[in-house]
Amino acid sequence: MTQTKQVIGRFAPSPSGPLHFGSLVAAIGSYLIAKSTGGKWLVRIEDIDPPREVAGAADVILRQLEAFGFEWDGEVLYQSTRLERYAEVLNDLKQQDLVYACDCTRKQIFAQREDRIYTNVCADKNLAANENSDVAWRMRHGSGKYSFNDHIQGHCQFDQSIYDEDFIIKRKDGLIAYQLAVVVDDIDQGINQVVRGLDILDSTPRQLRLYEALGATPPEYYHLPLALDKNGDKLCKQHGAKAIESENASELLVRALEFLSYPTTPDLKYLSPQDILSNSKLRI
């Protein structure tokens, strides 16, 4: 008899502000899809970009999740505690010559091409860069053929042009880029199911490139539809999306379920957030 592997999913908010309706959709989607097969659901705070963070937001997010009835498995992982691990992986990639240093300034990149796409001019320069050099580290693109079956979006295949620019895994300002941190953590945490917003779909081929380079198996992907504002723009903290309030937790959970086309009943909103979550089985 073949044993199916236990699902390990996650919700990975960046602490750039409190959760809003769009983040609630990602939270409930990832939670219910993982739980529908008896899987685990981990929470990871992606706090590696201090300039974009808001003091105290990580705690606010965790309190919001609790108030909305979410129960995570294990300890919350903070990416800010993982910098040594990211440096170790970056070093491995350097040893294998899968990354290269790039000292181009924004101005130089802008001058190369008007659309601000970097044209990989440093790929063959072999700039001698050490730990403290003022350079970005870019991942050499691989085969350029990355496709995957998304459980919601279907077969996804990306145009070669997405690889025109070798993507950055460590920024010039010394900060580790999202692409590297997210893949290293997903691998180390044994995440095999990634449910997140459609806005991150474009990053997926880059992440597949990293899985390939690190010799790891990518997770199953589910990219959820995006909640939009009145103007048709993605709800986001930077554009002042309203924080979700715990007084309206049950009502907002039901709205998030409806947004995901989950069949709801008129009385569902009178249940506690915990009961709404445990009564809802989202299968895709």
Q: Which amino acid appears at position 20 of this protein?
A: H
Pick the closer one to ligand GLU by CB: 53 or 166. 53
Pick the closer one to ligand GLU by CB: 113 or 239. 239
CB of 216 to ligand GLU, least distance (A): 15
Contact present, 272 and 69 (Cβ < 8 Å): yes
Contact present, 20 and 55 (Cβ < 8 Å): no
Q: Which residue's CB comes closest to ligand GLU?
A: 196
Pick the closer one to ligand GLU by CB: 212 or 275. 212
* Residue appearing with tokens 């800010």: 80
Strand partners, 40: 8
CB of 274 to ligand GLU, least distance (A): 24
Pick the closer one to ligand GLU by CB: 69 or 197. 197
First to last CA, the chain: 24
Sites of contact with ligand GLU (CB under 6 A): 12-14, 46, 182, 196, 200
| Residue 63: both structure tokens together | 């309190």
Pick the closer one to ligand GLU by CB: 122 or 170. 170
CB of 196 to ligand GLU, least distance (A): 4
CB of 3 to ligand GLU, least distance (A): 28
CB of 218 to ligand GLU, least distance (A): 12
Phi/psi of residue 31, nearest 5 degrees: -65, -50
CA dihedral 47, 51, 56, 61 (to 10 degrees): -50
